[in-house]
Structure 1
Amino acid sequence: MPAPRIAIGGFLHETNTFAPSPATFEDFVNGGGAPPLVEGESIFAAVADSNIGLCGFIDAPESRNWTLLPTLWTAASPSAQVTEDAFERIAARILAGIRDAMPLDGVYLDLHGAMVTEHLDDGEGELLKRVRALVGDAVPVVVSLDLHGNVTRAMVEQVDMLIAYRTYPHVDMAETGARCAAAMASLLESDQRPVKAFRQLDFLMPIAWQCTAEEPCRSLYAEVAAMEGGSLPSLSLLTGFPAADFADCGPSLVVYGRDQASADAAADRLVARIAEREGEFAGRVYSPEACVREAMRLAANAIRPVVIADTQDNPGAGGDSDTMGMLKALVACGARRAALGNVFDPAAARVAHAAGEGASIMLALGGHSGVPGDSPLEAAFTVEALSDGRFVAPGPYYGGGRLDLGPSACLRIGDVRVVVVSRKAQMADLAMYRSVGIEPLEQAILVNKSSVHFRADFASIAEAILVCAAPGPMAVDPADLPWRRLRLGVRTSPLGKPFVPVTEPA
């Protein structure tokens, strides 16, 4: 019997419709914190030995018995909408790759689940609709998703199984790809497809409190995993990405069962469990200077760094990673042995490289994305170290990924050091500081432009972790965003007020 022919590929973007900068085709080509756009057989080397869903699918035991037919894989840093040009060019190349690989026995795609484009609210739903139209109803289609996916009914209807990550920080992306391979094997061996139960929850979960190593997500995800098996081959809880202004934004559950009654009962049970815990999806948030002062107080008697999450400028949630609120607070408070990363400012990196190590340079650093309440920091900086921005990030989140952040520098102002990069990537690995000569373990305070992913590598070295709300496009409380298009009745924060659209004056 010939080996099953499985087309594989990926197209990932998490869209913050309130963010300042769109995702262009060039952003996908460059990749930033992910491998650059890659096609055909080159995909295997590009994703090898990394924490990427497609890598897990390729390396799964089941896939060794298949003929894997690579199409295209690409990802860009979270941002505002994907341009129509980028979406259509990339989608066309994925579809062409699938068409060229036919006849097929299956299709696996590594997607995010929260892609909004300039012309489509539901990027993944449209892509999957086109894939299904191309391969027909008989070919199994399996998709891995980020747990921040804003799942739509169209996505559920177009594929046989959607399987989401179960960790945030996302240390199980490759593992999720392997789960997708096991699901594909089951579909290939059976004439029956599992039935589906889909539920959308009625409140938005702030991402700063979605960490699966902390409550309430820790026990909720443990329950999801415990329920899986037997009559329930797959369950996914997606906490959603609460910064995409369209009707389907928010948390959801996708349950697959051998029979409809079992699937519906499991979905309803989980909806009830989450409702009981709604109020726990919130926590303490500091203002910038209050946060720095508290960090300095804790650091006075600490032997490990105090870590601050600059959550509202998280490039993993659509921020440009260039706001200056936290750096200004560190300087104003006279913080010592402090470091902040990453600041995305290619122009500043060029000036630093031109001046050389040891030089003093005048800069208007950061603050270029037009975020309300933010502005550049105009000051003199010392260039302490320079780098080409290429390094391996061995921590649990990047999982040994080979990063290329372009020309980079360590700039010092007072006793505060700043990682300046030319390509956006979330500060989620200790190696990102070390790449420009900063040893994070020797710092009293570390300020990371990240919401939760940094915890994967930093939690074990942190004396304490504080969450700060400096100006930025990813509001720590979704209720602070100017929503216009959510579905009626969705609470924009835990136990908050239901969404009601603003009516324009006549």
Structure 2
Amino acid sequence: MTAKRIAIAGFQHETNCYGVTKAGLAEFEMADSWPSMLLGAQVVSETAGMNLPAAGFAAAATAVGFEVVPILWCSAEPSAHVTDHAFETICGMLLDGIRAAGQIDGVYLDLHGAMVTESLADGEGEVLRRVRNLVGPEIPVVASLDLHANISAQMVEHADYLSIFRTYPHLDMAETGARCVPVLQRLLAGETLSKAFQAVPYLIPLHAQYTGSAPFEEIYQLPARFEQQDVLTEIALGFTAADFPDTGPSCVAYAATANKAAAAVEDIVNLFLAQETRLDCSMLSLEEAILTGRQRREKPVVLADVQDNAGAGGTSDTTGLLAALIEGGVTNVLMGLFNDPESAEQAHAAGEGALVNLAIGAKSNLAGHVPVKAEFEVLALGDGTCRYTGEMYGGGIATLGKTAALRLVGHKAEIDLVVTSIRNQCLDRAHFTHIGLNPTSYSVICVKSTAHFRADFEPIAEEVFAVSSPGTFLCDLKKISYTRITRRLPIAAGSAADDVPDTVGYSGATPA
């Protein structure tokens, strides 16, 4: 019996509509948190063993006897909109690759679910539409999506099955890709799955989406329960920096009948509504962060600079938290990662052990942001090749560009920090240890990350706090000037229902 031939491709971007720089073709071609653009056989060979959806799918597909036909895989660090040129070029490569593959029996796509281009609000919906138009209605098309996907009716229409991460931090990326394989087997055997799709009526800020906390510990038990009833359910929590009518949480169900699928999504949305007031949307002010940093504990306290996260399109060069810690005289602090190629270059020119005057951060020309000007000792230098050691990305390699570990001098505050030349979210202890800094030896660890850091830093921390410091990825949703959002803010713990608008549509300052 001839093996079923499955085309596999990936095209990943999480778009922050309030970001500073756009994602052009070069950003998809380069390596950053993830590998550079991969073509043909590289899609499998260069991702094997990594916690990536495409890697999980390829391994599981091979194990059941499918012939994997790799086309391409690429991603760009989250940023503002994907340029039309990049989108059209990559889509063209993807479709040309499928055409050149000859006879195929199915398609798997590794997508994000929150891509917005210069011309398209629903990037993934358009990718799926074009693939469907190419292969026709009879070829199964399955795709994996990020937990932060903003799912549209178009995505659901053109994909036979959408598999979505169930953890944040995303520890199950490979598992999510692999989950497409048994569904694809069922579809290739001639089974038909009815679909149902329903949106949750409120937004959830990303720092409140941590799946190790209430109410998600209960919500994410539902897929396993429904599977016992022969219903496949998938849940997305949405990406709030994408100004798009479908932004927000939603769920999809697949079952033998439309009624079974519809009943499942109704049950899921009802649980979201019942659990709404358990959401923890709190953040420390900068003043509270200083007081917290001064308190000594047996283990480090982690202060997360959640609104300056490269992994959500932040610039990773805002200095609000750094300036506050210096002003507050907080000691024994480790902080990173600052995207500051200029300071990294100056540190490399000065050499290890040198004292150098630097203007740290604020290189992105954001209104109201200024660099921290001070003298620093150059503790260590590196080329930015950083092998992840934590659970989320373990086995992969981050590309940081020229990197420097620096120590503030001449101040009461005691702060070590890491500057890089390529934006990366600080989510793995290796971001510090690869350049000789041991996070466990500090009293305070400050990470530019929203929740992914929890997988590797929470085990060594006494406590973890989100901090409200200015950045281009706002977690305080009231401050975002949405123009296309249709859902309301959540009634979080401690909030009054009267304080929550029916829909979101604020005229406050656009994050810039």
Aligned to 1:28: 28
| Per-residue deviation, 1:374 | 2.0
Q: Equivalent of 2:352, from 357, 361, 368? A: 357
Aligned to 1:239: 237
What is the letter of the counterpart of residue 258 of structure 2?
Answer: Q
Q: Are 2:8 and 1:4 aligned? A: no
Q: How high is the TM-score relative to the length of structure 1?
A: 0.95
Residues 198 and 252, structure 1, Cα contact 8 Å, conserved in 2: yes
Aligned to 2:218: 219
Q: Are 2:161 and 1:166 aligned? A: no
CA distance in 2, matches of 1:60, 1:441: 37
What is the letter of the counterpart of residue 251 of structure 1?
Answer: P
| Per-residue deviation, 1:235 | 0.8
Gaps of 5+ in 1: none
Q: Equivalent of 2:272, from 248, 271, 274? A: 274
SS at structure 2 position matched to 1:192: coil
Q: Equivalent of 1:492, from 480, 489, 492? A: 489
* Residues 125-169 of structure 1 deviation map (CA, whole Å, 9 limit, x = unaligned): 111111001111100000000010000000000010001000000
* Residues 262-319 of structure 1 deviation map (CA, whole Å, 9 limit, x = unaligned): 111111011111001112223331112321221221xx2x221100110000111110
Residues 488 and 504, structure 2, Cα contact 8 Å, conserved in 1: no
SS at structure 2 position matched to 1:427: coil
Aligned to 1:40: 40
Q: How high is the TM-score relative to the length of structure 2?
A: 0.94
CA distance in 2, matches of 1:88, 1:382: 46
Aligned to 1:387: 382
| Per-residue deviation, 1:498 | 2.4
| Per-residue deviation, 1:422 | 1.0
Residues 10 and 74, structure 2, Cα contact 8 Å, conserved in 1: yes
**1:213-362 alignment runs, 5 A limit:** 213-232=212-231, 234-297=232-295, 300=296, 302-362=297-357
| Per-residue deviation, 1:501 | 4.8
* Residues 417-453 of structure 1 deviation map (CA, whole Å, 9 limit, x = unaligned): 1111111111111111112211001010000101100
RMSD, aligned α-carbons: 1.4
Residues 47 and 55, structure 1, Cα contact 8 Å, conserved in 2: yes
CA spacing shift, 1:502–1:382, aligned 2, 3 Å: closer
Aligned to 1:423: 422
| Per-residue deviation, 1:370 | 3.2
* Residues 300-346 of structure 1 deviation map (CA, whole Å, 9 limit, x = unaligned): 2x221100110000111110111011111121111211111100011
| Per-residue deviation, 1:63 | 4.5
Q: Are 2:454 and 1:450 aligned? A: no
Residues 164 and 236, structure 1, Cα contact 8 Å, conserved in 2: yes
* Residues 234-281 of structure 1 deviation map (CA, whole Å, 9 limit, x = unaligned): 211100001111211111101111111111111101111100111222
Quote the sequence identity (%). Answer: 42
Aligned to 1:195: 194
**1:426-445 alignment runs, 5 A limit:** 426-445=425-444
* Residues 435-482 of structure 1 deviation map (CA, whole Å, 9 limit, x = unaligned): 221100101000010110000111111000011010001111222101
Would you say how many aligned residue pairs link Structure 1 and Structure 2?
496
SS at structure 2 position matched to 1:467: strand
SS at structure 1 position matched to 2:242: coil
What is the letter of the counterpart of residue 299 of structure 2?
Answer: R
Gaps of 5+ in 2: 492-496, 508-512
CA distance in 2, matches of 1:412, 1:213: 34
| Per-residue deviation, 1:62 | 5.5
Q: Are 2:108 and 1:111 aligned? A: no
